[in-house]
Amino acid sequence: MPPAQQKILIVDDDADFRQSLAFFLESHGYTVRQAADGRQGLLLARLERPDLIIMDLMMSERTEGLFAIQELRRSADLPQTPIFVVSSLYAKVPDFRVPPEQAWLGHDEFFSKPLDLPRLLEAIRRRLSTEATGETTQA
Amino acid sequence: MNLLLDKRQEGPPLVVVIDDDAAMRLSCRKILVKTGLRVETFEDGMQGLDAVARLKPDVLVVDLKMPGISGMEVISRVQQMDPSVVIVVITGYATIDTAVEAMKSGAYDFLPKPFSPDELRLITNRALERRRLMVEARRQELERELLKRRFVTFVSHQLQTPLAAIHQYLNVLKHLEGDPAAEARRREWFDRCLARTEEMLSLIRNWLTLSAIEGQCLARQRVRVDLAPIVASVLETCEPLAEAEEISVESDLPEGCLTVGDPDCLRVLAENLITNAVKYNKPGGRVSVSARASGGEVILAVADTGIGIPEQYQRFLFDEFFRVKTPNGSKKPGAGLGLCIVKRIVGELGGYIEVDSQVGVGTTFRVHLPAASGRHEVQAAQEETGAACTTEDIDRG
């Protein structure tokens, strides 16, 4: 699938961060949607069915990103969408204590802020090319 | 330490009694159970120590003279195990010296034999009160630690967020060098980088101001000062911000609003209130700033026609890091330290601050400061203390 038909959703509460990343990804041929918080992110994820989600872990509420990820993974129509987690505060995803039935954080890759853009791009390409070949049902 | 806190919700406090005398154990149990306490008794030090480790009692009553492990030994081991257990020793008249020794090694009180039920109750109650205070002190200490940790985390995040944005703009420009679309936005992105840099600088400035106030040396001088020209000069510096946000500013600043304080502090105070009024306003909105002297007070009022603050949040307004969300759920740039600084300055100068706010209509802050009396002499600035504090603060920062 050519990148233009591949849609990436960025969920981050910092407008500058979001817009600069969106510009970068768009200039590499992707279609980009943006959301400013977890709630908006969930909404857009359901509406737009992105191929990949880039989610900031720490938005205005400390655990907002985490809950949004759990919610995404629980929703029946989006469980497989790859999620890349970014965070400025942690060098890796923190080990939060969650109830046993949710004792996993369904993200696929972790990136620390500030982002290493070439590395991110490489990871997106890798991920979306396997997605594309692995899933034949995708419209 | 968490156990120490959680335990209290489990029911009545627990007293463990260790005494080799069966009659003594029985009567202690009877007396204390009647006062609503939970009581467990043990006949020697070994069993008693095991029970303390297992049950984590609030109070331990221990006989000093027992076969096997002595009372003194029990005290020292319990002290090592859990210093928050309050220990009362039972002792015969002949061994008062030992009781003193026991208290030196950590026992809280002693009961000389024979004792009356009232004496046991009294001393146990005192021990429980002591325990309550210890738990409370520990809780406060934990809270303070948490706050301190939170402060560091929060400030790091507040600095990292704009840094990440700046970094990314520069990085995108670097990686898309030669791309006409990126080149076309270069100017705009540089402006955004500058704005974010300003945000970081202001955070650091506020942070330093706050730490200076915590060292209680912000108001370095107490001089007779007219509020009006100070506020007027602040208004001038805020003009570009107001223009950018399309806010009109009006002021009524008659001369002669004399108070006693530090002009620098008063400037910081006015600056924080006025920038907030501009920031949390609506496009095309208005900011009114006025000062007047009335009834022994000088009152500075800053009113905006902004988003207002819901009543339930008004009491958090002056807390560190609190920020009002705009109606669309986002937050304005800033660290939430401004009003915290304002409140501390007002307090230092012997005044108070009022807020009057209506959602969607606007907010008015009124700062009341004591007016300088006619006879008030200009006091010499405490320059030496001030200078010392500044150096220390810079080192700390």
Nearest CA in chain A to B172: A24
CA distance B302 to B291: 9
At B322 the pLDDT is: 63
- Euclidean distance between the first and final Cα of chain B, in Å? 32
Residue A111 clears pLDDT 70, i.e. is over it = yes
Identify whether A1 is part of a domain. no
Provide the ipTM: 0.80
Closest by CA to B216, choosing from B343, B348, B337, is: B348
A70 in Cβ contact with A78 (< 8 Å): no
Name beta bridge partners: B223.
Answer: B261
What is the nearest CA distance from A73 to chain B, expressed in angstroms? 25
Beta strands in chain B (DSSP E): 14-18, 38-42, 59-63, 86-92, 109-113, 223-226, 248-252, 258-261, 286-294, 297-304, 352-358, 362-370
CA distances A53 to A89, B167, B178, Å, are: 19, 21, 28
* pLDDT band for position A58 (cuts 50, 70, 90): low
The full DSSP string for B160-176 is HHHHHHHHHHHHHHHHT
* pLDDT band for position A29 (cuts 50, 70, 90): very high
At A137 the pLDDT is: 41
Structure tokens that stand for B71 in this block: 């009372």
Identify whether A107 is part of a domain. yes
By Cβ distance, the residue of B162, B167, B176 closest to A24 is B176
How high is the mean pLDDT in each 10-residue block of chain B (397 residues)?
Answer: 44 93 93 94 94 94 90 92 91 75 87 90 94 85 75 78 94 94 94 91 78 61 88 88 88 89 87 89 90 90 88 72 60 68 85 89 92 56 37 33
- In terms of residue numbers, what domain contains A21? 7-133
- Taking contacts as CB-CB distances below 8 angstroms, the residues of chain B near A17 are 161, 164-165, 168
The residues in A 4-43 lying below 8 A from B, measured between CB atoms, are: 13-14, 16-17, 20-21, 23-24, 27, 36-37
By Cβ distance, the residue of B169, B325, B330 closest to A20 is B169
Sign for the pseudo-dihedral over CA of B324, B327, B330, B332: negative
What is the nearest CA distance from A113 to chain B, expressed in angstroms? 6
At B376 the pLDDT is: 44
Residue B81 CB neighbours (<10 A):
13
Identify whether A56 is part of a domain. yes
In chain A, the number of structural domains is 1
What is the nearest CA distance from B286 to chain A, expressed in angstroms? 26
Identify whether A101 is part of a domain. yes
At A116 the pLDDT is: 93
Tell me B227's DSSP state: H
Identify whether A138 is part of a domain. no
Residue A132 clears pLDDT 50, i.e. is over it = yes
Provide CB contacts within 8 A for B316, sequence distance 6+. B322
Which stretch of DSSP H or E encloses residue B87? strand B86-92
DSSP helix/strand/coil, B188? helix
Evaluate the omega torsion of the peptide bond into residue B114 and state whether it is cis, within 30 degrees of 0.
yes
* pLDDT band for position A112 (cuts 50, 70, 90): confident
Interface test with A, best of B150, B168, B169 (most A CBs within 10 A): B168
Put simply, the answer to whether B331 touches A115 (Cβ < 8 Å) is: no
Identify whether A139 is part of a domain. no
Interface test with A, best of B151, B172, B191 (most A CBs within 10 A): B172
What is the nearest CA distance from B394 to chain A, expressed in angstroms? 25
At B217 the pLDDT is: 56
Nearest CA in chain A to B192: A16
DSSP helix/strand/coil, B352? strand
> For position A115, which CATH number holds?
3.40.50.2300
Put simply, the answer to whether B164 touches A13 (Cβ < 8 Å) is: no
